[in-house]
Amino acid sequence: MEVIYILLNIAVLLAIIGLLIWMQKQHFSFTKRVFTGLGLGIVLGGILQAIYGVDSNVLAETTEWYSIVGSGYISLLMMIVIPLVMVSIIQSIINLEKTAELGKMSAWIIGILITTTMVAALIGIGTATVFDLSAEEIEAGQPEEERATMLETTLGDVEEQSTPQRILNFIPSNIFLDMTGERSTSVIAVVIFSMIVGIAVLGLRRKNPEQAEMFTKIVNAFYGVVMRIVTLILRLAPFGVLALMANMVATTDVAGIMELGKFVIASYVALFIMFVLHLILVGLFGLNPLTFLKKVMPVLGFAFTSRSSAGTIPLNIQAQKRSLGVDQGVANMSASFGATMGQNGCAGIYPAMLAVMIAPTVGIDPLSPAFIVQLVLIIGISSFGVAGVGGGATFAALIVLSSMNLPVALAGLLISIEALIDMGRTALNVNGSMVSGTLTSRILKRFDTKTFNDKNAIEESSSL
């Protein structure tokens, strides 16, 4: 009988996918299709949990089948991330007139990412204080205790690396290893390698223009093929969002969320405040925040459901270039850098909130100026190299808490709500990278205001 129920559940998913395909054929915009998939995924997941219960075998089997669509889509995106980052960065640099432009571009992008992350840390501190969050209020069950023990074990590996050693990990020693995405810093290592290649081509152009021209043609051809692959994969986004959201809602521990509801609410209040600050920044640079919001929403919707900043890079780059009017080189770099450093949600707000909650348990006043300054500086430094995939926030928290000499077990006690909070954190991370690209392009006077103000540009960028 269980097999029949599973087949029925699969048929329902396929029927909704059929609806999304029909919407595509009827030329519904990409934004509408993504949010239709998101909404129907929430409804489907809620119905599945209500009918079968979180612990049922039918639900477990159903979500495994749904993962073929959801996790499969994430895998396809991750497949193209490294080739896209590499060819995009190289092409961006070889199109520059001077290497000095590269330095300015990188400095502004990184500066905005790290600065906003430090501001996000202050918001996390303030929110945790206003909501009076405390580590002592959280009760630990067996899963939480097991997770806490695992994190304390992992902490040993983190503590063995000093900050200079972690920064040293950014430098690629085996680029082919990093092309596999094996290390948490693989994306930033590929970025560095690609920048070196691009700078080498600029130097070659002065000494041997013919060879440089030949290499440039090869890169441009490769870029064209990679972007075509990106377009083909992004056409599947509504289906991926549908399946990911259905699985997320169906397997959500409602009891755990209710128990830790205060922390969930506080987290989303902090995320919302930082998101509003992003829009204020956009407005201060002479751009309409509502226009910006409308154009980034499809990207944020996918980031929310996928919980992967790295997996969102292809969609991020496309939206910045074609919807927001950001310069191609700036878009490529801000999306790539934003997936590995200065993540406002995972590396800023989350570790700061945990630190404020834990500090009183070891006799430290979390509101003392010395504690706040130290915490914000450590968060800014440690935000380099945070993996742009699920679990990156936990890694960031381990680094920050250990650097502050605070116990790390609390990160394990939040396991039941980790996924729910991580969705919002990832969306904020991606929005931060898009803000850094938009502002940098504006500062360097390489911003296409006409594209930004074009209401149809969002649909043109996503006519997939």
Query: Residues 215-228: pLDDT tens digits?
Result: 999 998 998 898 88
Q: Alpha-carbon distance 450 to 456, whole Å?
A: 11
Pick the closest to residue 447 from 335, 324, 313 (CA basis).
324
* 237-250 and 289-306 helices, crossing angle to 10°: 60
Please give the residue that has the higher pLDDT: either 341 or 43. 43
Give CA–CA dist 448/441, Å, rounded. Answer: 9
pLDDT of residue 142: 44
Mean pLDDT of 95-122: 86
Q: Cα 356 from chain centroid?
A: 24
Domain for residue 239, yes or no?
Answer: yes
Spatial separation of the C-alpha atoms in residues 30 and 23, rounded to whole Å: 9
Would residue 192 count as lying in a domain?
yes
What does the pLDDT average to over 107-118?
A: 93
Q: Which CATH number do you get for residue 268?
A: 1.10.3860.10
Average pLDDT over the chain, rounded to an integer: 83
Distance CA 108, CA 438 (A): 11
Higher pLDDT pick, 184 / 459: 184
Distances (CA, A) of 239 to 21, 56, 227, 234, 289: 9, 25, 20, 10, 29
What letter represents residue 16's amino acid? Answer: I
Burial class (CB in 10 A: 0-12, 13-18, 19+), 360: middle
Q: Is residue 462 part of a domain?
A: no
> Tell me, what's the pLDDT at 255?
65
Alpha helix positions (H), 95-141: 99-130
pTM score > 0.85 for this model?
no
Q: Which pair of structure tokens corresponds to residue 117?
A: 């992350």
209 assigned to some structural domain: yes
89-117: average pLDDT:
84
pLDDT tens-digit readout, 253-300:
776 666 677 888 999 999 999 999 999 999 999 999 999 999 998 899
**Helix or strand holding residue 199 (H, E):** helix 186-207
**Amino acid 349: pLDDT:** 92
Determine, yes or no, domain membership for 463.
no
Handedness of CA 96, 98, 103, 104 (dihedral sign): negative
User: Whole domain around residue 403: which residue ranges?
Assistant: 2-457
Whether residue 390 is predicted with pLDDT greater than 50 in this model: the reply is no
The verdict on residue 422 lying in a domain is yes
Number of domains observed in the structure of the chain: 1
CA–CA gap between residue 387 and residue 400 (Å, rounded): 15
